[in-house]
Amino acid sequence: MNTNAAPTAAVVDAALSDSTRAMKSAGRRSFNWVAGLSILLALWWFGAYLIEINPSTRHFADFGPIPTFQAFPVLWHDGTIQNAVAASGYRLGVGLLIAIAIGIPIGIMMGRSRTFRELSNSPFQLLRMISPLSWEPIAVIVFLSWNHAIIFLIAIASVWPVAFSTAAGLAKVDPAWFKVSRNLGAKPWHTLTQIILPAIAFDILTGIRAALGVAWIVLVPAEFLGVTSGLGYSIEDARETLSYNHLTAMVLVIGVIGYMLDSTCALAIKRFSWHRGAV
The answer to whether residues 39 and 75 belong to one domain is: no
- Domain end marker among 62, 92, 113: 62
The answer to whether residues 195 and 256 belong to one domain is yes
Residue 205 falls inside a structural domain: yes
Residue 6 lies in a domain: no
pLDDT of residue 148: 92
Distance CA 168, CA 98 (A): 20
Do residues 33 and 167 both lie within one domain? Answer: no
Residues 94 and 191 in one domain: yes
Same domain, 181 and 72: yes
Dihedral of alpha carbons 111, 117, 120, 122, sign: positive
Please say whether the beta carbons of 150 and 216 come within 8 A.
Answer: no
Q: Is-contact 233 241, C-beta < 8 A?
A: no
pTM: 0.80
- Does 153 map to a domain? yes
At 16 the pLDDT is: 54
List the Cα angle 114/119/125 in 5-degree steps: 110
- Residue 2 located in a structural domain: no
Count of the separate structural domains present in the chain? 2
Greatest alpha-carbon span in the chain: 88
30 & 68 share domain: no
Residue 4 lies in a domain: no
Instruction: Tell which of 62, 88, 118 closes a domain.
Output: 62
Looking at the fold, whether 109 and 169 belong to one and the same domain comes out as yes
**Quick one: pLDDT at residue 250?**
93
Find the domain containing 215 and state its range. 64-272
Residues 162/123, Cβ–Cβ less than 8 Å: no
- pLDDT single digits (tens) 33-48: 888 888 988 998 888 8
* Amino acid 276: pLDDT: 47
Residue 150 lies inside a defined structural domain of this protein: yes
Same domain, 56 and 116: no
Residues 43 and 154 in one domain: no
Q: What residue ranges of the chain have pLDDT lower than 70?
A: 1-19, 22, 273-279
Sign of CA dihedral 174, 180, 182, 186: negative
Domain identity same for 87 and 105: yes
CATH number at residue 165: 1.10.3720.10
The string of pLDDT tens digits covering residues 224-234 is 877 888 999 99
CA distances from 258 to 22, 156, 195, 215, 251 (A): 28, 19, 32, 10, 11
Q: Would you say residue 32 lies in a domain?
A: yes
**In contact, 196 and 108? CB cutoff 8 Å:** yes
Are residues 49 and 80 located together in one domain of the fold? Answer: no
* Residue environment code for 141-179, b if the CB has 16+ CB neighbours within 10 A, otherwise e: eeeeebbebbbbbbbbbbbbbbbbbbbbbbeebeeeeee
Let me know if residue 19 belongs to a domain. Answer: no
User: Does residue 49 sit in the same domain as residue 140?
Assistant: no
